[in-house]
Amino acid sequence: MYSFKNDYSEGAHPKILNALIVSNMTQEKGYGNDTHTNNAISKIKNLIGNKDIDIHLISGGTQTNLIAIGAFLKPYEACISANTGHIAVNETGAIEYTGHKVITIDSNAGKVIPQKIQEVLDVHTNEHVVKPKLVYISNPTELGTIYTKEEIKALSNFCKSNDLILYADGARLGSALCIKESYLTLSDMCNFTDAFFIGGTKNGALLGEALVIRNENLKENFRYHIKQKGALLAKGRLLGIQFEELFKDNLYFELANHANEMANLLTEGLKELNCKFLIDSPTNQVFPILENKVIEKLEKKFIFYIWEKIDDTHSAIRLVTSWATKKEAVLAFIHELKK
Ligand SMILES: Cc1ncc(COP(=O)(O)O)c(C=O)c1O
């Protein structure tokens, strides 16, 4: 059985594993004060072209979201997310557990738009309700769609003029940035948001996310927040080594490109079979709509999510490609579907 269920079914890219082995017996300082973490952070700063940002390496996406959002907000402040947003639907109330309400808004193909934020602001005007303070987006969204540079810029301007923090979850950021039509770079992500993270777990690392904080007001004592939430790893070197490798020789974008290419191959194959899609996703998640009886047959050979019921006889499934997806597996899926 070949899995298209997610982009973390495999371990890590061999270059990362090799770097872990090569550095294995070298003694390093703990808690992210090691040479590899420092190197990784300077590589990312160079790539972004900004030395005044803070970067923290954290082991997972949920953890990064809850530590960042929990740290950025005052006790009575809340965040706004698309109703499809990962923090709203898939993080077991982790944000709410930090004491902050997640206000959900209708999404536009998974995306947050200023008009919907305004509607929330209009009804949260005094101390009898929470104060919306942070806008959570993810790029790509839960539906694999992406923000263009213009869209992020518009959100950024809206947030600035309304004194809101714009925070971007980049669990699959590599995949989004590799879509040329977005005209978006890592530097843009930094300039347009107050903080965002660069996902490693879903792009070739064993685990790890790099949180970038640009807004000066959000930087203070951030390591205390990480430690208090149990996320300051004594062997922080494990994260440092991985990000050092990911940002050496363009590996990060190479891997994301591969995932996108495999998704594209899937999409093209599905289109040739006149397949319809739940949504037009250019990134590494594809959502074809298939007959339930066809899905049942495919499930005998492939693993994937059944995403959404469309009608009594059809469902949308989610196929995810990764940095490690084999072309043969994609072709085998299409071949099976043809049969
Ligand atoms: C957009 C997004 N954010 C956050 C997460 C959470 O990451 P983790 O499972 O590492 O906590 C995921 C995981 O699927 C995700 O897709």
Tell the residue number behind the tokens 């298209």, with chain if given.
4
CA of 61 to the centre of ligand 1 (A): 5
Residues 216, 42 contacting (CB under 8 angstroms)? no
Q: Specify whether 92 is located in the same domain as 181.
A: yes
The finding on whether 318 has its CB within 6 A of some atom of ligand 1 is no
The finding on whether 85 has its CB within 6 A of some atom of ligand 1 is no
Instruction: Please state, in angstroms and as integers, the Cα–Cα distance from residue 296 to each residue in 43, 201, 279, following that order.
Output: 46, 30, 22
CA-wise closest residue to 252 among 208, 218, 292: 208
pTM: 0.97
Q: Specify whether 302 is located in the same domain as 229.
A: no
Spatial neighbors of 317 by CB under 8 A, at least 6 apart, are 287, 288, 290, 295, 298, 304, 305, 306, 307
Pocket test for ligand 1, best of 57, 62, 97, 139 (most atoms within 8 A of CB): 62
Residue whose CA is closest, atom 7 of ligand 1?
A: 61
Instruction: Report d(CA 263, CA 321) in Å as an integer.
Output: 6
Q: Specify whether 174 is located in the same domain as 296.
A: no
Q: Specify whether 18 is located in the same domain as 70.
A: yes
How many domains is the chain partitioned into structurally?
A: 2
Pocket test for ligand 1, best of 9, 65, 86, 198 (most atoms within 8 A of CB): 86
pLDDT per residue rounded down to tens, the chain (339 residues):
999 999 999 999 999 999 999 999 999 999 999 999 999 999 999 999 999 999 999 999 999 999 999 999 999 999 999 999 999 999 999 999 999 999 999 999 999 999 999 999 999 999 999 999 999 999 999 999 999 999 999 999 999 999 999 999 999 999 999 999 999 999 999 999 999 999 999 999 999 999 999 999 999 999 999 999 999 999 999 999 999 999 999 999 999 999 999 999 999 999 999 999 999 999 999 999 999 999 999 999 999 999 999 999 999 999 999 999 999 999 999 999 998
Strand, coil or helix: 151:
helix
Instruction: Report d(CA 159, CA 165) in Å as an integer.
Output: 6
- Give the count of alpha carbons within 13 A of 225, CB side only: 21
**CATH number of the domain within which 74 lies:** 3.40.640.10
Measured from the Cβ of residue 29, the count of other Cβ atoms closer than 10 Å reads 12
Q: Specify whether 266 is located in the same domain as 238.
A: no
Instruction: Report d(CA 267, CA 8) in Å as an integer.
Output: 20
Q: Specify whether 161 is located in the same domain as 271.
A: no
Residue whose CA is closest, atom 4 of ligand 1?
A: 61
CA of 201 to the centre of ligand 1 (A): 9
Strand, coil or helix: 86:
helix
Residue whose CA is closest, atom 9 of ligand 1?
A: 61
Q: Which atom of ligand 1 is nearest to the CA of 141?
A: 1
Measured from the Cβ of residue 213, the count of other Cβ atoms closer than 10 Å reads 24
Q: Tell which of 246, 261, 280 closes a domain.
A: 246
Element (H, E) at 251: helix 251-272
Q: Specify whether 160 is located in the same domain as 302.
A: no
The finding on whether 86 has its CB within 6 A of some atom of ligand 1 is yes
- Length in residues, the chain: 339
Instruction: Report d(CA 29, CA 25) in Å as an integer.
Output: 13
Q: Which atom of ligand 1 is nearest to the CA of 170?
A: 1
Residue whose CA is closest, atom 8 of ligand 1?
A: 61
DSSP 254-274: HHHHHHHHHHHHHHHHHHHTT
Residue whose CA is closest, atom 6 of ligand 1?
A: 61
By residue range, what is the domain housing residue 227? 14-246
Q: Specify whether 69 is located in the same domain as 207.
A: yes
